[in-house]
A and B are shown apart, each in its own frame.
Chain A
Amino acid sequence: MVTAYCPLLTLQQPGQPPSPKGLQPPACSAAASEPCDELLSVSLSGDSGKMAALTAEDFAALQSLLKASSKDVVRQLCQESFSSSAVDSKKLLDITCSSLSVTQEEAEQLLRALHRLTRLAVFRDLSSAEAILALFPENFHQNLKNLLTKIILEHVSTWRTEAQANQISLPRLVDLDWRVDIKTSSDSISRMAVPTCLLQMKIREDPSLCGDKPSVSAVTVELTLRQKPPRLEGVTSTVACEGDSASAAALSGQREIRAQLAELI
């Protein structure tokens, strides 16, 4: 049992998922000879609150929502606070202050708590009311708890999709344009009929890594008749085999793709 109180560290409940970003040996543990039984998480600003459990302060901060003039205000705040940029957004902070008539500090704590709550629901994929209700402590305001549960239940699938679309990945293909030309002559050949294909792929890097530079870059390549378009049959047949795990959308297209492939090859 860690007895030293370090203002930079928040104690997690035992049994909560550990936060890999936050696991650090306690810097100021008084009983240094004792092993640390409980998981400690470091409270960092920004997005790292995704997996950390909510603290008592978080639940206290959520009470500010009781000042909302309507359920729609609460709903709106939940939606806005989910996104990664929410915690640093000055604009959202100001809107929260004015609509709830709270101080900057209270608004900041509320947004951080809502961000953590919504992210936690998405992380654990909580799709039932019981599961979401279980996140709240016993003595939490009943009506607010029910309202928040209802809102989260409504949005959890949309939020999951959003989270998956924004998770780390290689740069993403955003557009594919192509054109088939026929080369009819050049400085070295007076007459020919060489089909060629110009392919342009627009690729988007993670914008947060690009700084001021544009995040979308274009790659243009030329394919000639001797280079057939890439052999994709390996990919599509593999996708078809991973029956249980592939997405339903992929599966439904497979039969069509296999038939088309037979023609292509």
Chain B
Amino acid sequence: MNKPWIRQRSEITGQTAAPKLERELVDFQWKLGMAVSSDSCRSLKYPYVSVLLKVADPSGQVKNKSFEMTIPQFQNFYRQFKEIAAVIETV
């Protein structure tokens, strides 16, 4: 997978280079699930979103991180990303 380096041509030196990224989000996978039963509740309708993040550190090593959110938490998560997108586009 190609690293999404940002190539910038410096106006003064004419060199191309890429700013180093800190830990970079390489992949984002998600799943919407519904818990139907558990050892504490025989009958459930519990929706949740699980997410898998793949993060590459500067050396290139990729680590996985998984976590879960309730639907309200996911909606907040989504709202935050929408704000980030809005800010990045206008900056």
Chain B residues with Cβ under 8 A from A169's Cβ? 48, 68
Flag B15-34 by CB within 8 Å of A: 1 or 0 each. 10111111111001010101
Which residues of B34-75 are within 8 A (CB) of A? 34-35, 38-51, 53, 55, 65-69, 71-75
Interface size on B, residues (CB 8 A): 59
Chain A interface bracket (under 10, 10 to 19, 20 to 34, 35 or more) = 35 or more
Chain A residues with Cβ under 8 A from B44's Cβ? 164
In the complex, whether A213 has a CB less than 8 A from a CB of chain B is no
* SS of A interface (majority): mixed
* SS of B interface (majority): mixed
In the complex, whether A35 has a CB less than 8 A from a CB of chain B is no
Shortest CB-to-CB span from A49 to chain B, Å, is 11
Shortest CB-to-CB span from A26 to chain B, Å, is 23
A247 touches B71 (CB 8 A): yes
Checking A123, A172, A222 against B42 with a beta-carbon cut-off of 8 angstroms, the contacting residue is A123
B82 touches A264 (CB 8 A): yes
Q: B interface vs A, CB < 8 Å?
A: 4, 6, 8, 10-13, 15, 17-25, 28, 30, 32, 34-35, 38-51, 53, 55, 65-69, 71-78, 80-82, 84-85, 87-88, 91
Q: List 17 A-B contacts (CB under 8 A).
A: A123-B39, A125-B41, A164-B41, A167-B38, A171-B68, A176-B77, A183-B19, A188-B15, A188-B18, A192-B19, A219-B53, A221-B53, A229-B84, A232-B78, A235-B49, A239-B47, A245-B34
